[in-house]
Amino acid sequence: MSLSLNFTIEADVDRRLIVEKIYGIWKKETAEEYHQEFVKTAQPLIAGKWAKLINLGNWKTSYPEVVEIVGDHLRWCRENGMVLSVNVIENPITLNQLKRMFEHGATAKISRIAKTMQEGERILRENGF
């Protein structure tokens, strides 16, 4: 498990799932650190198909350059086996920024939005995770 003041990342190998919590306002350096830690944590999963569940309830609108960096991260995820991304988010402003990240990373078709963790878990179960 990777811990930071701005995120936690945990791999559940049995479920083929990465669970994340995202906090605060992100700058370029935060997004770059996140991707580096994510790649390390995801190593046991990238040989096959996997999903991620992201709790964005405490995430704030980030600096504009973060859209491109996280978009590149999402592209890396898709190219390395991610088949589903479930994003738990309610804030419409951060949701708009997240959707721009999906577009940049070409993951809009495999990304789902949930308002609660329970709804997110239901989406995962319905898709075999």
The number of helix segments (H) and strand segments (E) in the chain equals: 4, 6
Write out the chain's pLDDT in tens, 129 residues.
666 789 999 999 999 999 999 999 999 999 999 999 999 999 999 989 999 999 999 999 788 899 999 999 999 999 999 999 999 999 988 999 999 999 999 999 999 999 999 999 999 999 999
From the list 68, 5, 73, 63, the residue with the least C-alpha distance to 36 is 73
**% of the chain with per-residue pLDDT over 70:** 98
Domain spans in the chain, listed from the N-terminal domain onward: 2-126
pTM of the full structure = 0.92
What integer pLDDT is reported at residue 66 of this predicted model? 93
What integer pLDDT is reported at residue 61 of this predicted model? 79
What integer pLDDT is reported at residue 74 of this predicted model? 97
CATH number of 2-126: 3.30.750.24
